[in-house]
Amino acid sequence: MTKFIRLFIGVSATSLLLLAMAGTLAHGNDRGEAKATIGGAHISIDYGRPSLKGRDPLKMLQPGRVWRIGSDASTTIESDKDLNFGGTTVPKGKHILLAHLVEPGKWTLVVSTKPYNQYGPSAKIAEVPITLNEASDSVETVTIQLAEKEGRAVIEIAWGKMRLVASFTPAS
């Protein structure tokens, strides 16, 4: 009887471990992180890094829709101080970042309380314009950079030849 109980516990523990691992391996894309300290605010962005695999990102995104900026789990921004996105204060903590393709060539960066597949206007905390640039070089996997320029936080999202650039500041 004791051997049976030990066997049962061992098999159960192994099964639980395999189930837990399956969730993390389901999609297989790497995660990336961009960090910067701007105006005393420690800011980090966590995102999934899908590969192009020959696709054109601008053809995959539809006007009027939001993009989760990456893959798998939501792209998040976390700060230990309040941030200012276009005159709107975003409270310190962790929030979801989305890119909204308003119409061809017109983008906005959205700070949201909900992921892209549950997003609606009531989930929007703040929104700022994004500039779309085309680079001569192509980036195979989504890469986000966060840097300080003249007291502003500048976020650049690169995928393929697409470069999306937006900025915000620490709140006063």
**Residues 126, 90 contacting (CB under 8 angstroms):** yes
Strand-pairing partners, residue 149, are 152
Q: Which amino acid, one-letter code, is at 81?
A: K
Cα–Cα dist 147/172, whole Å: 19
Strand-pairing partners, residue 95, are 77
Asked if the structure places residue 150 within a domain, the reply is: yes
| Whether residue 42 has pLDDT greater than 80 | yes
| Whether residue 15 has pLDDT greater than 50 | no
Asked if the structure places residue 7 within a domain, the reply is: no
Asked if the structure places residue 12 within a domain, the reply is: no
Cα–Cα dist 93/120, whole Å: 21
The pLDDT tens digits of the residues spanning 99-140 come to 999 999 899 999 999 999 999 999 999 999 999 999 999 999
The alpha carbons of the chain give a radius of gyration, in whole angstroms, of: 20
Cα–Cα dist 150/121, whole Å: 31
Average pLDDT over residues 91-100: 97
Domain that holds residue 158: 29-170
Asked if the structure places residue 22 within a domain, the reply is: no
**Residues 70, 47 contacting (CB under 8 angstroms):** yes
Q: Helix (H, G, I), strand (E, B), or coil: what is residue 57?
A: helix
Cα–Cα dist 147/151, whole Å: 10
Asked if the structure places residue 1 within a domain, the reply is: no
Instruction: Specify the DSSP class assigned to residue 4.
Output: H
**Residues 95, 124 contacting (CB under 8 angstroms):** no
Alpha-helical segments (H) within 26-117 = 57-60
**Residues 143, 51 contacting (CB under 8 angstroms):** no
Tokens representing 141? Answer: 């996997």
Asked if the structure places residue 142 within a domain, the reply is: yes
Cα–Cα dist 126/122, whole Å: 11
**Residues 58, 104 contacting (CB under 8 angstroms):** no
- pTM for the model stands at 0.81
Asked if the structure places residue 130 within a domain, the reply is: yes
Asked if the structure places residue 17 within a domain, the reply is: no
Number of domains forming the structure of the chain: 1
| Whether residue 26 has pLDDT greater than 60 | no
| Whether residue 98 has pLDDT greater than 80 | yes
